[in-house]
Chain A
Amino acid sequence: MMIDLFSAMAKSVIDGDPNTAADLARSALADGLAAAEAIEKGFIPGIREVGTLWESGEYFLPELIASAEAMKAAMAVLRPALEKSDSASKGAGKIVIGTVEGDIHDIGKNLVSAMLTANGFEVIDLGANVKLIDFIEAAKASGADIICLSALLTTTMLGQRRLVDLLVEHGLRNRFIVLVGGAPTSREWAEEIGADGYAENANGAVREAFALMSKAGK
C-alpha cells in the first residue's frame, strides 16, 4: 500500500505531472505520513530516476523541466510540514537566483533554477532584471546559502562584479556563496570578480553548487 504510494510519487515526477505530484503530497500528509518520508521514499527516487534517464540520453530538457516542475509542486506542499517538524532533511541548500538588472533574458536562468530545484535545493527565483540590492535583501531574509547571478549581455555581466563588491561593502561577502553564469561569462571572469564559482550550463551549476556547499562545510 505504502509502496504503491511511494512509486506513484516517483512516477509523478518521472512523468513530469505537477498536479498529480501535489495531490499525492497532500493526501500523504492527510494520511499522517511524515513529509520527510514522502520526500525521501517517494519523490527523491523519482528525481533520481529522471537523472538516470537524462544521463542515458532518454530524457531531454523538456522532460527535465517538466519533472522539475512536478518536484517543485510536491515540495511546495511538503516544505511547510517539513519545517514544522524540524526534521534533519533540510534539502541540499537554499539558493537565491536571478538575472541581473538591465538584463531581461531568463531562459538560461530558468533552466538552472529548475535543475537546482530538481536536485533538492530550495530555490528563490527573483526573475529577470533584478536590482542588485534585491539579491542581497532576499538572501538575507531567506538565510540563503548561495546567490546565483545570470547575465546574457556583455554589459550586464558587469552587474555580477558590482554585486560581489556590494557584498563586501555590506560586510556580507563571507556569508553567501556567489555563483555566476551566462553566455559572456567564464571561469576566468568569475575569478576576476571574486565570485566563488562558475558554471557554463544547468548541469554544471548543480555540480558546482554541491561542490561549493561541501567546500563551505554546509
Chain B
Amino acid sequence: MISGLRPKLELLSPALMDQILEEAFLILERNGVFFENAEARTLFREAGQNVDNDTQRVRLSRGLVERSLATTPASINMYDRSGEKSYRVGGDEVHFDPGSSGTRILEHTTRRERRPETADLVKIARLTDVLAHLDFQSTSLVSADVPGEIADDYRLYLALLFGAKPVVTGTFRTAGFRPMCEMLCAVRGGAAALKAKPLAIFDACPSPPLRWSLLTSQSLIDCARAGIPSELISMGMTGATSPATIAGTLVQHIVENLAGLTLAQLASPGAPVIFGGSPSSFDMRQGTTPMGAMETMMIDCAYAQLGKRLGLPTHAYMALSDAKTNDAQAGFETGIGAVLAALVGINVVSGPGMLDYESTISLEKMVIDDEVCALAYRLIDGIVPREEILAAHLFEGFGPETNFLSMPHTRKWYRAEHLVPIVADRDPYDTWESRGAASIADRAAGRVKDLLDKNPPNLPKSDIVSDLRRIMEADARENGVSFLPSLPG
C-alpha cells in the first residue's frame, strides 16, 4: 500500500539554521553565559572552560558544547505512574500537557479569576487523568492555601496522588528538589527504578539574557544526576530581554539552552534533556508577553526545528491563549498553536487549559482544548489510503440509488477517518436554541462536572499514598508548616 504523508511544517531554511547556530556558538565562546551557581562554575572549570568567578561568566568552547550534544539522548521514554505505559519523547511524537505553574484559576460561573486552592489542584489532576488527548499532566497551579515555602513539592504531591500520567513540574527553591525526588522514587520504588523509567520532567528556566540562576543551575545538576529529564525553558522577550528580531531571539535561545544542556552533561553525561522554551513576542504597548501572538508561535516552531536539527527532544509552550475568558480569542490562539506545534512535531506541548499569559487555568478550557488537541492529532495522522483500492470498487453497480450510508465500507472506516466532537457545536440551529443556546464554555462546564462525577479518583496503591504523605508532611514540618489542607474525597 502507498504510504501517507505526515504533514510537516518548517519555518527556517537550512542556510538560516546554519547562521543561527554559528552565531550561537560564537556568543557561547566569545561572550559566554552567566552561571550564578558555584558548583556549576566548578564543573565548567574542571572541563577546561574559561570561568570568571568574580563576574560568574563562563565561556563555553564549541568543542565542549558539541561533545555535550553528542552525549544527550535523542529521545526519552517517559512512563506513567504504574510504570507500564510509556511515551516516547523524541522524533516527531507530540504529547500535550496542561500549561504549568499558573497562579490563578478561572471560575466559570463568575467568569473571574481567583487564587486556587487544594481542591482546584485535585480537580485539575483528576480531569487531566481522564482527558484522552493530554498524554502528560503538569503541576498546573500553585496552591494558595499552603505557604510558598512548600508550594513546589505540594503541587507534585497532589499530581502524583490524583493522576497517573507522567508529570511536567519543577522546583521553586533549591531545597525543593530533595522531597520532590523522594516522592518520585516512592512511586517508582527507588532511585534506580526512577532513572530507568522517568516519571517527571523538571522545567528549568534561564533568566534572559544569557543567565542561569542559582536555583535553575542546581535543578539541572540535581536532575541530571537523578536521571530526571530537564526541560530547558529559555524565554527571551523580543526587544526587551532578547533581540527584537525573531532570528536574533533564536540565536539567544540557542545560546541559553546549549549552555544549560552542557551543564547537565557535565553533571552526568547522557543526562536526558529536552530542548524547550517559553519565549514571547514582547508587547511594546502593554509590556506583556503574549503567548498567543503569531510571532511567539513562530519563534517556538523555529527553535523546535533547530532543536530537531541538533538531534534533541523538543518542547514548547503552545496551545494556550492570553484571553481572560473562554472566548473566541481563547479558541483561535489555542487552536492555531496546537495545530502548528503538531505540524512541527514538537514532542512536549505545554499549554492546554491555560489563559492570561501562562497565569491562569480554566477547567472548562482544559476540556475544550482536549478537543483542540484531538483535531491537531487528526491532522498529523494525515491522509492514508486505508485499503489497496481507494474507491473504485465502491462504484460497482453504481446507479441513481447509490448512497454510502448503507455501505459496509462506511461503517468500517468512518470512525477511524472522522472525529466526532463532544463540546464543539454541530447542532442544527433549532436544537441548539432549544438546548439553552449555550456557549462552548457552558457545554464544557457540564462536561467537567460529568467527567469528575463519573470517574472516581485514580489513586495509587495505599502504601504509596502513605509514603507520599509522609514525605510531604516531613518537608512541611522542616519548613515550619504544621498543618496541610485536608484532601477532598
Contacts and interface: CB of A to CB of B under 8 A. Distances in A.
Nearest to A159: B148
A158 B287 CA distance: 24
The contact size tier of chain A is 20 to 34
A153 interface: yes
A204 to B, nearest CB: 10
Nearest to A108: B287
Contact of B103 (A57, A105, A158, A184): A184
Contacts of A202: 287
B241 interface: yes
A92 interface: no
B443 interface: no
Contacts of B148: 154-155, 157-158
| Secondary structure of the A contact surface, majority rule | loop
Contacts of A211: none
B107 interface: no
Nearest to A189: B115
A66 interface: no
Contact of B287 (A57, A111, A155): A111
B438 interface: no
Interface string B256-288: 000000000000000000000000000011111
A107 interface: yes
A107 B172 contact: no
B158 interface: no
A69 to B, nearest CB: 15
B61 interface: no
A155 B172 CA distance: 6
Contact of B211 (A104, A153, A155): A104
Contact of B172 (A57, A61, A108, A153): A153
A155 B103 contact: no
A188 interface: yes
Interface of B is mostly: loop
A158 B172 CA distance: 12
A105 B172 contact: no
Nearest to B237: A107
Contacts of A62: 239, 284
B101 interface: yes
A89 B412 CA distance: 84
A172 interface: no
A62 B207 CA distance: 21
Interface string A78-110: 000000000000000000000000001101100
B286 A154 contact: no
B287 A61 contact: yes
Contacts of B378: none
Contacts of B207: 104-105
Contacts of B213: 104
Nearest to B359: A183
B115 A188 contact: yes
Contacts, number: 46
Nearest to B176: A155
Given A154-B172, A155-B148, A107 B285 contact: no
Most buried by A among B36, B101, B142, B284: B284
A179 to B, nearest CB: 17
B287 A201 contact: yes
A53 B235 CA distance: 30
A154 B285 contact: no
Given A154-B101, A155-B173, A61 B149 contact: no
Nearest to B104: A186
B363 interface: no
A154 B213 CA distance: 15
A201 B286 contact: yes
B288 to A, nearest CB: 8
B240 interface: yes
Contacts of B36: 104
B127 interface: no
B94 to A, nearest CB: 28
B151 interface: yes
Contacts of A186: 115
Contacts of A105: 207
Contacts of B211: 104
Contacts of A61: 240, 284-285, 287
Interface string A47-69: 00000000001001110000000
A126 to B, nearest CB: 18
Contacts of B103: 154, 183-184
B284 A107 contact: no
A146 B26 CA distance: 44
Contacts of A107: 237, 240-241
Given A154-B148, A157-B148, A188-B115, A60 B142 contact: no
A202 B101 CA distance: 24
A144 to B, nearest CB: 24
A60 B213 CA distance: 30
Interface in A146-190: 153-155, 157-158, 183-184, 186, 188
Nearest to A128: B207
Contact of B142 (A108, A154, A158, A201): A154
Interface string B216-250: 00000000000000000000010111000000000
A104 B172 CA distance: 14
Interface string B101-119: 1010000000000010000
A186 B104 CA distance: 10
25 contacts: A60-B284, A61-B240, A61-B284, A61-B285, A62-B284, A104-B207, A104-B211, A107-B241, A108-B287, A111-B287, A153-B172, A154-B101, A154-B142, A154-B148, A154-B151, A155-B148, A155-B149, A155-B151, A158-B148, A158-B149, A183-B359, A184-B103, A188-B115, A201-B286, A202-B287
Given A154-B103, A155-B149, A157-B148, 5 more contacts: A60-B285, A107-B237, A154-B101, A158-B148, A158-B149
Interface of B: 36, 101, 103, 115, 142, 148-149, 151, 172-173, 207, 211, 213, 237, 239-241, 284-288, 357, 359
Interface of A: 57, 60-62, 104-105, 107-108, 111, 153-155, 157-158, 183-184, 186, 188, 201-202
